Structure 1
Amino acid sequence: MVEQAQGAKWPPPVPIFDNLLETGGGRMQGDSLFDTIVPEQPVDGSVCSANNSVRDFPLCTQERGGGGSRSQLNEVSGWNQEVRNRERAQPASSGQLAGTRFLFCSQCLIIKMTDLSVQERAVGAVVGSLVADAAGQPLHWIYDVKRLDQILKGREGTPEFVDPGQGPFYRQPTGAQSGYGDQTLALLKALVAGKGFDVQLYRQELYKTFGPNSEYDLKGKLKGQDQVQTGGYRHASIKAFLTAYEARKEKTGSSTDPQMDGVAKVAPIVALYAGDPKLPQYVEEVVRVTQDDNLAVQCSIAAAAILEEFILHPPREGFLDRMKNRLELSVIADRLPKILQQHTTAHREVVQQIGSSCALPGNLLNSLHCLLVSPNLSDYSNTMRQTMTAGGCNCSRLSFVGACIGAAVGSRGIPDDWIKKTRHGDLIEKLSQDLVALRVSG
């Protein structure tokens, strides 16, 4: 590993990337990833090209495409860390980086996304979904945004993984999944075990996750000092599923449940079947296990079509405008024009206008708006932070938005420390890789 040298020029010359470190960012200008990087503020330790000293970059700004979209990027931990996948570095003779996936910030992780394979995007979708859910779980279902702002006072830029959790309805350890994330994880495990979708295996995994003697079984569990229940929260559709499963009913889904559960857990099924014409059928089968509700199914199919696009093709700004007439999106077609018009409106403002509850189609539209305001669809951390702090049912939004941006940047574009803070993060990565391997072997 190359250490940061006193007086070293910033940015380092291109050849140093052959065995180097992630570089802390600044402003990127132009169409390439390495036209210019200019630090946003003076820091010590080394010297940038403008003779400012460099320590780290707690705040930097990405600017792409000659004055196009900008995004705020946070918490660069310095450029003292070896670049992941450095063996893929192919510095071009022009002095720019060609064919690389260099991360210019260890937190914001700006990546040249066009170099990712479908398999890498699929893995990123699953990991991105589950990590985002865990990051926002301590702030789940806080509908009072004034209280949310009080909780985050002093850490407004880093709302992820608040410890201890502050949710008003349940308390799980920081890093654990919400009830949405645990449904996703149950589906992931079932798909890997069955080498594809097997409804009985999925039901068994759901029952194991949420049934008797699970952390969602609250019998004998005490409330905390603030009278909030410790342990997981069983959603209405999960309660209905458990009752029907124990009664050995053929249909286990709740007949009326137009909520975000199906949308939130699409990542594993789309990661496995993206590109398969039967994908909508698989999504419907998954959703009806717990939600035998037509609106829930239709919205989940719409979400799956959008995520499929992120996995199969390098995402680009304007994706929703190009997809708005797709049959799969017909359930929200009449609401899309307004969402598209609000692409310059603050995300929290839109969420509060539409409503921040788990209800459909509202929270799916909230999720799509978050993607619309995500600059270049490349900034995982700050995209998650936007919807994490918009209030209400943030975890269902995070699960879907995290899948989309995770697909855009790949699993290497998801901050390492976020994955490490996610309970069973290593297992999630392995299961995601095993799942996507079935795309090839199958």
Structure 2
Amino acid sequence: MSAVVARRVAAVCGVFVGDAAAQPLHWIYDQKKLDDIIGGKEEVEFWPTSHNPFYTLNTGQNSGYGDQPYVILKSLVENKGLNITALNKATVDFFGPGTEYDNPNRPGEKPIQGRWLHKSLMDFLQNHKEGKPETGSADKSADCCIRMVPVVALYAGQADMLERVRQVVQVTQNDELLMAAALTGARILENFILNGNNPSAVEDVITELSKPTRKSPTDLDEKMVECLKQVLEAKECPHTEVAVKFGRNCYVPGNLQTSLHAITTNDNFQSAVRSTIKAGGCNSSRAGYIGACTAAKYGLEAVPDSWKTKTDRYQEVLKLAQELVKISL
């Protein structure tokens, strides 16, 4: 297996490990409450009991963020590449009526027992049910940064990679700012997959986004350049403070900025994911993207074996990732 192929596999596995690691402490916006739960411990990953104020899952399971690239990964492997019609069906089959996400507990007292259906997926299901040609939601949550990971892992280095990402994101989310952030995040992940531990990956993407001849341009690329520069300017600041500054919520571009700060200020997979778990808020979405980038950056061997073991579907997604990279493009 070549180094680039190994990094493709690592990126896919990293997104699921990162997301699962954060899931029990997901969506805690009261920093004092989170600090009291953690009690100064360094090993905050895979917390043994859920303290999520919205939903309760077993430790080791993926959140609603991590389940989305799982569906996309399986669809890519089963169809030997991107097939939007098949992906639409797979998304309905996994998140729609009669599934674990069709949760009767949702209207009840929080936290609910079981899975939490995200706004973008609710809108997708409704749009799909109504037969609308465009099924994407206007929701600006960071689902987009997680969904694109298997797509980038497969198509990195291909001329149509960004357009493939755009197609996949548009299935459930279709907003101009969100798309600009998703494509920016995809460019950075691609850089790590192709180049490994490149300390200037963010700077490289700034340069790329500034070119008139760049691929898949958006009208908000200039805004994304400013967002990336803000991340670099905040390198000396503690991650938790930066998360507050950029926003600990689910929305891009702040969510992406906070993720990139963890990626650029930590020198290993563990510390990057741990730092963003401790920062609270929507840390599962961030930990998933951070996990993908840092696994690609440092290699799958940088992901601790104990973390892999604690991720329920790790062996399954590892096999799927190995099948993914065999697809001929």
Whichever structure has more strand as a proportion of its residues is 1
Distance 1:293 1:354, change over 3 A: same
Kindly indicate whether residue 205 of structure 2 is the aligned counterpart of residue 316 of structure 1.
no
Contact persistence 1:419–1:425 (CA under 8 A):
yes
Where does residue 63 of structure 2 map in the other structure? 178
Where does residue 420 of structure 1 map in the other structure? 309
Which residue, 209, 226, 230 being the options, matches 1:334?
226
After superposition, the C-alpha distances for 1:310-355 in whole angstroms (9 at most, x for unaligned) are 0001222232223312226544112333321211111111001121
Amino acid at match of 1:172: L
SS in 2 for 1:326: helix
Distance across 2 between alignment mates of 1:316 and 1:144? 35
SS in 1 for 2:226: coil
Matches within 5 A, 1:284-433: 284-327=166-209, 330-375=222-267, 379-433=268-322
Matches within 5 A, 1:115-154: 117-153=3-39
**CA drift at 1:411:** 2.2
Amino acid at match of 1:434: E
Distance 1:187 1:159, change over 3 A: same
Distance 1:134 1:192, change over 3 A: same
Kindly indicate whether residue 120 of structure 2 is the aligned counterpart of residue 237 of structure 1.
yes
**CA drift at 1:207:** 1.2
**CA drift at 1:265:** 1.8
Distance across 2 between alignment mates of 1:143 and 1:220? 22
Whichever structure has more helix as a proportion of its residues is 2
Matches within 5 A, 1:24-39: none
Distance across 1 between alignment mates of 2:105 and 2:50? 21
After superposition, the C-alpha distances for 1:247-293 in whole angstroms (9 at most, x for unaligned) are 23221111x21221111222100000000111111011001100111
Amino acid at match of 1:135: A
Contact persistence 1:129–1:267 (CA under 8 A):
yes
**CA drift at 1:360:** 1.3
The structure whose Rg is larger is 1
- Paired residues, what number? 319
Contact persistence 2:187–2:205 (CA under 8 A):
no
Which residue, 133, 140, 143 being the options, matches 1:250?
133
SS in 1 for 2:325: helix
Contact persistence 1:138–1:174 (CA under 8 A):
yes
**CA drift at 1:366:** 0.7
Kindly indicate whether residue 73 of structure 2 is the aligned counterpart of residue 194 of structure 1.
no
Distance across 2 between alignment mates of 1:429 and 1:164? 26
Kindly indicate whether residue 323 of structure 2 is the aligned counterpart of residue 434 of structure 1.
yes
**CA drift at 1:221:** 7.6
Where does residue 97 of structure 2 map in the other structure? 212
Q: What runs of 5+ residues in structure 2 fail to find an aligned partner?
A: 210-216
**CA drift at 1:415:** 1.3
**CA drift at 1:413:** 2.3
**CA drift at 1:222:** 9.6
Distance across 1 between alignment mates of 2:31 and 2:280? 6
Distance across 1 between alignment mates of 2:81 and 2:222? 28
After superposition, the C-alpha distances for 1:398-435 in whole angstroms (9 at most, x for unaligned) are 11111111111222321112111111211011011111
Matches within 5 A, 1:41-52: none
Where does residue 111 of structure 1 map in the other structure? none
Amino acid at match of 1:188: L
Distance 1:116 1:139, change over 3 A: farther
SS in 1 for 2:112: coil
Amino acid at match of 1:150: D
**CA drift at 1:393:** 0.6
Distance across 1 between alignment mates of 2:260 and 2:2? 23
Where does residue 8 of structure 1 map in the other structure? none
Distance across 2 between alignment mates of 1:355 and 1:221? 26
Distance across 1 between alignment mates of 2:160 and 2:201? 22
Under a length normalisation based on structure 2, what TM-score does the superposition of the two structures give?
0.92
Distance across 2 between alignment mates of 1:223 and 1:334? 42
**CA drift at 1:368:** 1.1
**CA drift at 1:223:** 6.2
**Higher RCO, 1 vs 2 (CA within 8 Å, ≥6 residues apart):** 2
Distance 1:172 1:322, change over 3 A: same
Distance across 1 between alignment mates of 2:323 and 2:44? 31
**CA drift at 1:220:** 5.8
Contact persistence 1:299–1:331 (CA under 8 A):
no
**CA drift at 1:235:** 1.0
Under a length normalisation based on structure 1, what TM-score does the superposition of the two structures give?
0.69
Amino acid at match of 1:427: E
Distance across 1 between alignment mates of 2:99 and 2:46? 23
